[in-house]
Amino acid sequence: MRGFTFSWKRAIGISGLKSRLAHGTGIPTTRMGLERKIGAGILNTTIGIITFVFGIIIKIISAIIKGIIKILR
């Protein structure tokens, strides 16, 4: 029979338990899954910080422009 492999972890239920644990908690049980989750968290944090800083810069520029307009009136 081609393609048949035996997994003792699957036979005693470790694979299913790990899968249920990962789906239930949202914490991956594989190294690659954990790396993906950490990478996504870092990326989301970085984007959040950039968005926050950009918002502050826009508010500062807006205040400067309002001040200039007030002076020119």
Digitized pLDDT (tens) for each residue of the chain, 73 residues in all: 577 788 887 888 888 888 898 899 888 888 999 999 999 999 999 999 999 999 999 999 999 999 999 898 8
Cβ atoms of residues 44 and 36 within 8 Å: no
Asked whether residue 29 is domain-assigned, the answer is yes
- Report DSSP state, residue 29: S
Residue span of the structural domain in which 56 resides: 8-72
Predicted pLDDT of residue 1: 57
Cβ atoms of residues 18 and 27 within 8 Å: no
Predicted pLDDT of residue 46: 96
Asked whether residue 68 is domain-assigned, the answer is yes
Asked whether residue 45 is domain-assigned, the answer is yes
Asked whether residue 22 is domain-assigned, the answer is yes
